[in-house]
Structure 1
Amino acid sequence: MGDEIRFEDAALALRSQRMTVLASNIANADTPGYKARDFRFSEALANATRFVMPMQQTNAEHIATPLRSTVDLDYRTQLQPAMDGSSVDMDLERAAYSENSVRTQIALQWAMEEYIETGNMINSLKG
């Protein structure tokens, strides 16, 4: 396995990043003119894992991981115009936040199971 980017790691990192974006939308719901942001998770995950391959670090200055730390944020389409120009729809944001929270928990569980399985495999090879 080595230094390769694992699908579970990329999914968990992106879920966490999306949680931050959604929380920012909720926090700025009463900010006049604030435009809600989000990103397409499936596209971000595909981009983050596109070049998943084992990496060999031959120089101390090489980048350790190809996982992209940034995603392309889109402005959320405004479904109901607000008088103050804000595009935050609290019902939509709460639903997206809740869904992402559940999916983050699932991604965390998968990652933990993978690490436990890998650790057990390594321990069985050692002795």
Structure 2
Amino acid sequence: MGLDLGRELEVHADALRLRAERTKILASNIANESTPGYKARDIDFRSSLQQMASGEAADGLSLSTEDDLLYRVPNHPTEDGNTVEIGVEQAEFSQNTSDFQMSLTFINMKIKGLEKAITGNS
């Protein structure tokens, strides 16, 4: 009976891939803060992660299509149609970065635990 490292780390690895993709989306929002008509986008992290875990998402991650991205509803719409609110985007980006680091920490702890189990160190 072999060790399936992929299965052991699956949810955290999926979370890292999803958080990396979300980082790109949020960075795009921030970069387009002053683009007239630009609509801020985001993902529903929880439902996207559930799709990945259940195998519903094609190739694990299906955020490449427009249907997977949600529009962010602005608190204060602008006259030029841009829905990016820089404070909101920066806060979401910061939280996403913290969550990414937390997932990395979980993976690191899991690997260290597996290493101890394999080598017999306590």
Aligned residue-pair number = 111
Q: Are the counterparts in 2 of residues 10 and 67 from structure 1 also a CA contact under 8 Å?
A: no
Q: Which residue, 41, 61, 65 being the options, matches 1:69?
A: 61
1:21 is displaced (CA, Å) by: 0.7
1:33 has 2:37 as partner = yes
- For the Cα contact (< 8 Å) 1:49–1:67, is it kept in 2? no
Shift of 1:113: 1.1
CA contact (8 A) 1:29 1:90 kept: yes
Partner of residue 99 from structure 1, selected from 89, 95, 99: 95
Q: What is the CA–CA distance in structure 2 between the aligned matches of 1:47 and 1:83, rounded to whole Å?
A: 36
What do you get for the CA RMSD once the two structures are aligned? 1.9
Unaligned runs of 5+ in 2: none
Query: Which is richer in helix?
Result: 2
Using the size of structure 1 for normalisation, the TM-score is: 0.78
Task: Name 2:113's counterpart in structure 1.
Answer: 117
TM-score, with structure 2 as normaliser = 0.81
Structure-1 residue corresponding to 2:52: 48
**Structure 1: 5+ residue stretches without partners:** 52-65
Tell me whether 83-92 or 3-12 shows the greater mean CA deviation: 3-12
